[in-house]
Structure 1
């Protein structure tokens, strides 16, 4: 249903670079085309974006987006779709006030894989400290924030609303909806659960645009090229894609007019993106870090690393995803070209993050499907092998940067590496490997692959 209201609001929670280079860009393009019916209100759950929000507020919500092609062609655009900046406070009172308004028709959010707080069965992790706090009425997580907003909306007759995930989790709308249902069941809020069933939709989406953390050089180039002294610029690659299930309960912007693919099911697009792009990205970041490299493009341009990613996709992923509406070989080649872009300056540190969510989410499904069709997933097993050696370096304080992971259990990982047989402990971790954790043949394969990683590192050192 494409319905437009004058001054309809799209509330976005998560003030990071990705939203400002992606969803905000599409809505800006719609405004540029003459459709002024929608605008963005931008806020954050945590106070870590307060300086950015202050800078955006001082600039009236406007900022410059720099994009760059693999050939180094840069373009600059002032994004105008963010019309309201919501200041952070510990109770999220202003965010909740915006969310409950009937003019707010879509509430979207970007959280990392770990920000869903789901276990390997995709159920809510009730032992997590932030979830426990929110079950007591807090608002540290997306579940706490959204439940407060919807509760107020129910009380004030704010009307129906679409909740839109904009991140890399597979089946993100379904997973979030399930987590929210479990959260509200634990909070014993049956009336709100019924209200959501009647008044909310959670479409699945697939998003894609490489968006590194902006370096100080971005602001310098923006000043040189546009004359603007921008305190909140963002940069991204030129490539962009957004695939959305067309299931909006309270109307939506005419996103199809600016290149968004509105579809019945995102599954084939999502699977290709998560397994080909996201998993390869992680593979390259872990491998590059082990070689002492800082940037993704350096690592992708290292032949042995690129070959690992290429083999993984070609030998194991493409057979798993065929047939597909996408040309998977072409998609693979475009992805590797994008990763090779030296002008993005995307860091291995950013891409290597959240491995404990990425292994079960991005990589284990391909391992499982290879075994199911009678193949040994040698190429895919390189990825968890790289992560094992990467985390071994972390446990020994030998990583060149601070590793960030929302569900990292530091004590458990250090215990694993001090165990008599760390590889056995790793291979038997059902949170990472699901049903494969009980298969001796998988443990054997992982041992071979980890030994292969050590050999590769040794030969790289000598070469």
Structure 2
């Protein structure tokens, strides 16, 4: 299976998740003797420069520690990242790598909020970063890819796959719609036509819980492997990747390492986003409100687990039926994964980006439950938890800094300062779409917040 010149999988987004997920799969191919593909890792912003420098000093190699719910740890040196693209303000290194004809796939993980979509899943042109990129900057995936693909079109014109690896419903389609809209607004007709004709954007579903690395990982890696790793990463043992098989310029033999290549990713995507991602956020917001630090602690708290279980059982499963998946079994596996005490995933990490998660993960279930003629009582608890969470943020009473790419702090503080803040929250179309004008939804949300308030004011015992 040797090839003289490997193809390049260029990845934008040098976070832990890529190194625990996509890089692991390509590493497994190398372990099988298939060295036809390698990764070039890059970033749009300068926040990953220390990591990229550290990885460059280790020849791109690092250790992945995985842990099962029973506490069994395994260590594997990941070797699939062969190029660390140095960051510079003009993104010259990224542009050069993206224009290289060896690069056949450009993949990215920029978080849900990094696509700047409104509740209709259209590009939100009012966002400051989008405005800046429409004026020629490259703060976002759209501005960066405009520069990369412009150079590629001129250099070789070779087709390339643009692969979204974020937790975004219909992620390939919605990224592509946002990108084509961006190119139209940038008045780039030649590039727009080239992108339409020479790129594909398959939908994908990715899954592996990957907490932010903590200082205790490196000593375990050293003790277990003898490698003094300066950039280890840790994840749960579970992993899944489902991709629509629509690549413009070839792909790695991912089916040989457990990736599911399908015609439509929709059933897996909907189950994962609504059952796993939304429940994860529910648990993180609830756990934070009652003074807990970690996801496993909160999942092991009866009232919090019950909220997540009821949300899935009462509202999500009826919304997703019929499904080729055993949704009840999936629910139970997800909650067991969240309860893994060895992951030590923080409520802070999972609670982030709520302003994108509400419309992306939760509002569809609210709407579909109403459409069935039912009342989404269980689902309404999730935005109610987030409202109480935002109130704590507003009064500077959160135990950590809240991170949200869609947060306009000044406007949100102003909203929360009013006596009718909950009514304004319920009427926010960017969060709730058509439900924002419905009196029955506002009343349901008010009842949900009232039912949670006294509970949320009492700290809960934690299990370490």
TM-score, scaled relative to structure 1:
0.98
Confirm or deny: 8 A CA contact 1:285 1:351 kept in the other structure.
yes
Residues 1:184 and 2:214 aligned together: no
Confirm or deny: 8 A CA contact 1:61 1:85 kept in the other structure.
yes
Residues 1:350 and 2:349 aligned together: yes
Residues 1:30 and 2:29 aligned together: yes
CA distance in 2, matches of 1:427, 1:230: 48
**Cα distance per residue 1:270-292 (max 9 Å; x no partner):** 00000000000000000000001
Cα RMSD, aligned residues only: 1.3
Count of residue pairs the alignment pairs up:
460
In the superposition, relative to structure 1, how do residues 235 and 461 fare at CA in structure 2: closer, same or farther (>3 Å)?
A: closer
Q: Which runs of 4+ in 1 moved over 4 A?
A: 458-463
In the superposition, relative to structure 1, how do residues 402 and 458 fare at CA in structure 2: closer, same or farther (>3 Å)?
A: closer
Q: Which residue of 2 aligns with 1:163?
A: 162
Q: Which residue of 1 aligns with 2:424?
A: 425
In the superposition, relative to structure 1, how do residues 461 and 24 fare at CA in structure 2: closer, same or farther (>3 Å)?
A: closer
CA distance in 2, matches of 1:256, 1:6: 22
CA distance in 2, matches of 1:369, 1:290: 28
In the superposition, relative to structure 1, how do residues 385 and 38 fare at CA in structure 2: closer, same or farther (>3 Å)?
A: same
CA distance in 1, matches of 2:390, 2:189: 42
SS in 2 for 1:243: strand
Q: Which moved more, 1:60-69 or 1:116-125?
A: 116-125
**Cα distance per residue 1:20-59 (max 9 Å; x no partner):** 0000000000110110000000010010011100010000
Deviation at 1:379, TM superposition (A): 0.2
Deviation at 1:222, TM superposition (A): 0.2
SS in 2 for 1:398: coil
In the superposition, relative to structure 1, how do residues 156 and 360 fare at CA in structure 2: closer, same or farther (>3 Å)?
A: same
CA distance in 2, matches of 1:109, 1:232: 20
Confirm or deny: 8 A CA contact 1:300 1:306 kept in the other structure.
yes
Residues 1:301 and 2:300 aligned together: yes
Confirm or deny: 8 A CA contact 1:101 1:158 kept in the other structure.
no
CA distance in 2, matches of 1:83, 1:256: 22
Deviation at 1:125, TM superposition (A): 1.7
Question: 5+ residue gaps in structure 1?
Answer: none
Confirm or deny: 8 A CA contact 1:110 1:167 kept in the other structure.
yes
Deviation at 1:5, TM superposition (A): 8.3
**Cα distance per residue 1:43-88 (max 9 Å; x no partner):** 1001001110001000000000000000000000000100000110
SS in 1 for 2:163: strand
**Cα distance per residue 1:301-350 (max 9 Å; x no partner):** 00000000000000000000011111000000000000000000100000
Q: Which residue of 1 aligns with 2:440?
A: 441
Deviation at 1:461, TM superposition (A): 6.9
CA distance in 2, matches of 1:140, 1:461: 41
CA distance in 2, matches of 1:415, 1:144: 31
Confirm or deny: 8 A CA contact 1:5 1:38 kept in the other structure.
no
Deviation at 1:462, TM superposition (A): 11
Q: Which residue of 2 aligns with 1:60?
A: 59
In the superposition, relative to structure 1, how do residues 152 and 319 fare at CA in structure 2: closer, same or farther (>3 Å)?
A: same
SS in 1 for 2:216: helix
**Cα distance per residue 1:227-285 (max 9 Å; x no partner):** 00001100000000000000001000000000000000011100000000000000000
Q: Which residue of 1 aligns with 2:95?
A: 96
Q: Which residue of 1 aligns with 2:15?
A: 16
SS in 1 for 2:8: strand
**Cα distance per residue 1:149-176 (max 9 Å; x no partner):** 1100111124000000001010111111
Question: 5+ residue gaps in structure 2?
Answer: none
Deviation at 1:144, TM superposition (A): 0.7
Q: Which residue of 1 aligns with 2:336?
A: 337
Q: Which residue of 2 aligns with 1:317?
A: 316
In the superposition, relative to structure 1, how do residues 345 and 462 fare at CA in structure 2: closer, same or farther (>3 Å)?
A: closer
Q: Which residue of 1 aligns with 2:141?
A: 142
Deviation at 1:455, TM superposition (A): 2.8
CA distance in 2, matches of 1:71, 1:462: 22
Q: Output aligned runs, 1:67-78, within 5 Å.
A: 67-78=66-77
Residues 1:276 and 2:275 aligned together: yes
In the superposition, relative to structure 1, how do residues 350 and 461 fare at CA in structure 2: closer, same or farther (>3 Å)?
A: closer
Confirm or deny: 8 A CA contact 1:6 1:36 kept in the other structure.
no
CA distance in 1, matches of 2:386, 2:4: 48
CA distance in 2, matches of 1:67, 1:85: 24
CA distance in 2, matches of 1:251, 1:166: 17
CA distance in 2, matches of 1:227, 1:460: 42
